[in-house]
Chain A
Amino acid sequence: MGKRKAPADEDTPNHDFCEFLLELAEYEKNVSRNIHKYNAYRKAASVLSALPTRITSGSQAKKLNGIGEKIAKKIDEFLATGKLQKLENIQNDSKNAAINLLTRVSGIGPAKAQSLVNEGITTLEQLDKHKDKLNHHQIIGLKYFDDFEKKIPRQEITEIETVIQKHLRQLDPDIQITICGSYRRGKDESGDIDALITHPSYLRKKNKNTLKNVVGALQKCGLITETLSLGDTKFMGACKLEEGSVTRRLDIRLTPYDQFFCAVLYFTGSDMFNKEMRAHALEAGFTLNEYSLRPVGSTGVPGEPVEIHSERDIFDFIGYPFKTPEERSR
């Protein structure tokens, strides 16, 4: 998942509402650190962006699922004045701006940003002088701050995918790779690259070396340039297609073969779609996560994972109309 969620599509009729709602959402997440308000704003924005017609009043918006009294009022205010006082205040507060800026560094979250700002560090230049306060991940994040902010064109991801696939095939022809995230949802550009790999022989029994071997091979060929973290199942780092091109954030996850499709579904997103899908699964008597789909027993205890052979199987089990990755953006 990228650092910043894609802003609302410009061509939807309500995109200006979405924009200020998403900005408020960021504020709630980064500064007040209230994840529920963040979720509420994001849900409202998601509902509005899906609407084919322009909203003309707060009361009209209130009828939508996910928009209540307060957001309706904000829409009214925005319609009347063209701006939002709350947002103005937030934007004018230098502390908030600094926190928002620092959270854009990969590896710095709201809490770290807040503590840095409290220590008087408000700009990237200052941060550069106080590297002792940062961990390895954050230092790399700062080093490639500009690169990581840049969107990755679809074409480039395709090329990177080809390179990875070529090397994986040399390593072990049975390894499968899927690039998830917004790339899989057909977006023209993405914030980072989210790759999932699996191997038919990898079924619960762990082989700690698989991921390390993969990363090792990609390092050798020069694709992976930085490692933020590397465990048995998850690699976080950065890659560069060729000398002189922009450094990109790359995550690689190794999933057991029997969990692969749940993982692909989860990491393809979008996160709003995942939420909806999980809610639907619960209604249908199942619990869904990135590992498995399990029926929920009469006392609420999840049952044994059901066998899944494709993404479509998951939709099938919970009776949700199948959506292609492109249809899951919302």
Chain B
Amino acid sequence: MPKIKVDHIVSFSSEDPVHVANNVLSGDPAKKWKCKEAGERSATVVLQLEKASVISGIDIGNENSAYIEVLVTRSGTSDDFKVLLVMSSFMTPLEARQSTNINKVRMFVQDQLSKPECEQKWDRVKIVCTQPFNRHVQYGLSFITLHTSGDKPNGAPVQTTIGKFAVRPESPDSLSAGSLFARRAELKKEPLSAAAAIREASTSASPVAKPKLKINNNSHNSDSDSETKKPQPRNRNELLYSKDEEEPNEKIDKIIEKKQNEVKEKKNKEVKSQKKTGESSKRKNDGGESSSPKKKNKVVEKPKEKRKPFTDLLRGVTLVISGIQNPDRANLRTLALEMGAKYKSDWDNTCTHLICAFTNTPKFNQVKGKGKIVKKTWIEECHSQRKRLPWRRFCLDKSDSKKAESEDEIWEEIAEEKKDDSTDEEGYDDTKMQKRIEEIQAKQKDKEKTKKLDTFSQDTDEETIAISDDDEISKKLPDFLDFKTFFIDEVFDEDITKMLERYVIAYKGVVAENPSTDVDFFITSEDNAANLKNYNSNAVCLRPDWLWDCHNSQKLVSTAEYVL
């Protein structure tokens, strides 16, 4: 989360001659702000932010205050300050009287801030400190840091908030920690997909079903084909996407595509004559692919090491993190982004890997059977050894580990492209060529305005893929739980309960509010099964795994293994 820059101090209630209010802004933890007299009723300081921003996180370092409150307003209006962070406790009465633990630091995230204030932009912040328990100390603040959301840059257009879909971050004009990596990955991504488009074009004659997880920009050929062929799902999609978002893009896409193809064809010739290293290996992959046309998990082992730039090692990986808390979470993310992976907060169809701390987290169950679930050591090892290690060595789910290794190691340095997502290996361009194309494209884009259009093209594409997958699911959604009544026990966490309910309803089951005699199945934990039996001895008590497994196999699974 990038820091918000504070412009200056607007005013304050009082300040100690030594510990002045300006110290709040200095990064030096030894510099504090204290009120002038001991026992003042409250101490306030008002900060002016550099620009209006959404404040999504606040870190506060205390200096002898018992309570600290943060309020916000906009300097242009005469509106009163609104509460962003309610009075929060930093010292207990006992600590205050004994002046112990006077420099507590608390970090508040968006969930802890008041709504709707935490979603709006503010440029003026007022901090109110009080110390009612000890009248004999000067108190104040040692520091305050405001954060804005890292995923959504400040000036992001409104559409970034639509649904769960990944909207490409606009090229950041201000430098902020997270956006730098994000941008880097993004820039590389575009040309890659351009190359993919060539491959696409060459194979477009055979309308093979599109690989699920492929996230390429210019897969329009097959996409637009399928669009015209089956307008039905398209119509449904229009419920989610307004026409003006969609239609212009299709046109633009085609134009861009044409242009890109032209450029590439030129480059192709150049590149081919220059470099040939990767080509042979690509062809090899090609052969492998024809033997298993749809999905391919294994890649023929090659004697030669594959090499890639360090920043590209995890290209094609879109990861989601589960069960790992900050600061580890942030560190992992940073490592992964450095190696060219993409990060998403929630699992969707574009994601490939789940970095997970333990089994049976909600995300684990969601991803099981759909994506690759690995321990965090995968990222750490990849980063420290500077090579991409096969994910199966680090898999979390035991069932995964039995299978053969999924992929080759990829070393740092430049060599041919090898995508983790082995589904899209129909191409025969090598990385070098792609790189060339990248460079030239980047140059071109600087000159032209197509860059913006390109943004659109990518968006559309990602969405299209995601939706067509959705369609498949909704069409297939079986109703194997038809007319069965479930009671979901309250012993689980709220989100698990919600998820269970959703699954039951999705498969046409009925969720009962009470453990009555109408219930056929209790979804519960071991401890409470006996209790529930009291309400209805005919019903079967099952572990929630049953439902997950039903969902994974898309059919009614035998309950025998799950009975409590």
A interface with B by C-beta (< 8 Å): 205-209, 213, 216, 284-285, 294-299, 301-304, 306-307, 316-317, 319
The answer to whether B42 and A298 have CB atoms under 8 Å apart is yes
**A216 → B minimal CB distance (Å):** 7
**Docked complex: B462-491 residues within 8 A CB-CB of A:** 489-491
B42: A residues at CB distance < 8 A: 298
Check B87 against A294 for contact (C-beta < 8 Å). Answer: yes
Q: How many A-B residue pairs have CB under 8 A?
A: 63
Q: A285-B132, A295-B67 are in contact. Are A209 and B528 (CB under 8 A)?
A: yes
- A208 proximity list for chain B (CB < 8 A): 490
Contact of A295 among B92, B130, B531 (CB under 8 A): B130
Point out the residue from B82, B87, B491 that lies within 8 Å of A303, measured CB to CB.
Answer: B87
The 3 closest A-B pairs by CB, nearest first: A303-B87, A295-B87, A303-B86
Q: Let me know if B93 is at the binding interface, CB within 8 A.
A: yes
B328 contacts partner chain A, Cβ-Cβ < 8 Å:
no
Q: Would B80 and A299 count as touching, CB distance under 8 A?
A: yes
Please state if A284 and B86 are interface contacts (CB–CB under 8 Å): no
B78 interface hit (Cβ, 8 Å): no
A154–B425 Cα distance when bound, in Å, is: 83
Interface size range on B against A: 20 to 34
CA distance A100 to B82 in the complex (A): 49
Q: Quick one: given A295-B130, A307-B89, A317-B93, are A301 and B83 in contact (CB under 8 Å)?
A: yes
* Chain B residues numbered 40-84 whose CB sits less than 8 Å from any CB in chain A: 42, 44, 67, 69, 71, 80-83
Nearest-Cβ distance from residue A209 to partner chain B, whole angstroms: 6
In angstroms, Cα B71 to Cα A53, docked, is 52
Q: Is the CB of A299 within 8 A of B132?
A: no
Closest CB of chain B to A269's CB: distance in Å?
Answer: 24
State the Cβ distance, B561 to closest chain A Cβ, in Å.
Answer: 25
- CB of A209 within 8 A of CB of B87, answer no
Q: How far is the CA of A284 from the CA of B89 in the complex (A)?
A: 15
Once bound together, how far apart are the Cα atoms of A306 and B490, in whole Å? 27
Chain A residue with the shortest CB-CB distance to B86 = A303
Give CA–CA (A295, B114) in the complex, Å. Answer: 16
Least CB separation from A300: chain B residue? B83
- Distance in Å: Cβ of B523 to nearest Cβ of chain A: 14
Q: Is the CB of B69 within 8 A of A298?
A: yes
Q: Cβ of A302: which chain B residues have Cβ within 8 Å of it? A: 86-87
- Give, as a whole number of angstroms, the nearest-CB distance from B539 to chain A: 15
Q: Are A213 and B531 in contact (CB under 8 A)?
A: yes
C-alpha gap A205/B42 in the complex (Å) = 35
B128 at the interface (CB under 8 A from A): yes
Task: Flag if A303 contacts B88 (CB, 8 Å).
Answer: yes
Indicate if the CB atoms of B132 and A301 lie closer than 8 Å. Answer: no
**Selected contact of B128 from candidates A213, A216, A298, CB within 8 Å:** A298
Q: Which of B86, B92, B490, B528 contacts A297 (CB 8 A)?
A: B86
Instruction: With both chains docked as a complex, state the minimum distance between the C-beta of B42 and any C-beta of chain A, in angstroms.
Output: 7
Whether, in the assembled complex, B345 has its beta carbon less than 8 Å from a beta carbon of chain A, the answer is no
A-B contact pairs, 22 of them (CB 8 A): A209-B528, A213-B531, A284-B132, A285-B130, A294-B86, A295-B87, A295-B130, A297-B69, A297-B86, A298-B71, A298-B81, A298-B128, A299-B81, A299-B82, A301-B87, A302-B87, A303-B67, A303-B86, A304-B88, A306-B92, A316-B94, A319-B132
- Do B93 and A299 touch across chains, with their CB atoms under 8 A apart? no
Which residues on A sit within 8 Å (CB–CB) of B114? Answer: 301
A307 CB to nearest B CB, Å: 7
Task: Write out the residue numbers on chain B whose beta carbons fall within 8 Å of the beta carbon of A297.
Answer: 69, 71, 83, 86-87, 128
| A256 vs chain B, min Cβ distance (A) | 14
**Which among A216, A301, A307 is the interface contact of B86 at CB below 8 angstroms?**
A301
Report B-chain residues with C-beta under 8 Å of the C-beta of A209: 489-490, 528, 531
User: Would you call B446 an interface residue if the criterion is a C-beta within 8 Å of the partner chain's C-beta atoms?
Assistant: no
A208 to B528: give the CA distance in the assembly, Å.
12
Bound Cα distance from A208 to B488, whole angstroms: 11
Question: With a CB–CB cut-off of 8 A, which chain A residues contact B67?
Answer: 295, 303
* Minimum CB distance partner of B491 in chain A: A207
Bound-complex Cα distance A294 to B88 (A): 9
CA–CA, A216 and B532, complex, Å: 12
Q: Is B448 an interface residue (CB 8 A)?
A: no
B534 within 8 Å of A by Cβ? yes
List chain A residues, Cβ under 8 A from B92.
Answer: 306-307
- With a cutoff of 8 Å between Cβ atoms, the chain A residues found around residue B94 in the complex are 316
B494 CB–A CB distance under 8 Å: yes
**Further contacts, 4 of them, CB under 8 A, given A285-B130, A285-B132, A299-B83:** A294-B87, A297-B83, A298-B42, A307-B89
| Residues 236-293 of B at the A interface (beta carbon under 8 Å) | none
**B42, B80, B531 pick with most chain A CB within 10 angstroms:** B531
Query: By the criterion CB–CB under 8 Å, are A303 and B89 in contact?
Result: yes
Q: How far is the CB of A175 from chain B (nearest CB, A)?
A: 14
